[in-house]
Amino acid sequence: MLYQRDDLRRILASWDIAALFRFLNDHTKLTQREIAARTGQNQSEVAEILAGRRGPVVSHHVLRRIAGGLDIPPEMMGLSWWSPDGTYHGPEGGYP
């Protein structure tokens, strides 16, 4: 599975969306237009993110939309209280 790669896991954990989009373009050949369609953005927004003309994506809503559109397990981006092994880590335990 692509999202199990250590280099991509670091990108996901840091919420570096520009690096994520570059990685997907390089390793899966997804175009900016395809990424935009999957993430609910337009192609110009994706291009601006890739060019560094937009600040970092930090909105929880947008990050969840990107994760969902790209089939990224939300826990890999710290967006879920469930760990990858299916264990619940509710508010008391925090995210591992």
Number of domains composing the chain: 1
Q: What is the CATH number of the domain that holds 16?
A: 1.10.260
Domain membership flag for residue 79: no
pLDDT-based confidence at residue 95 (cuts at 50, 70, 90) = very low
Domain membership flag for residue 90: no
Domain membership flag for residue 82: no
Give the pLDDT of residue 2: 84
Record the tokens describing residue 5, joined without a space: 């790669």
- DSSP 8-state code for residue 22: H
Domain membership flag for residue 18: yes
State which residues form the domain around 30.
10-73
State pTM to two decimals.
0.81
Domain membership flag for residue 57: yes
Contacts of 55 (CB under 8 A, 6+ apart): none
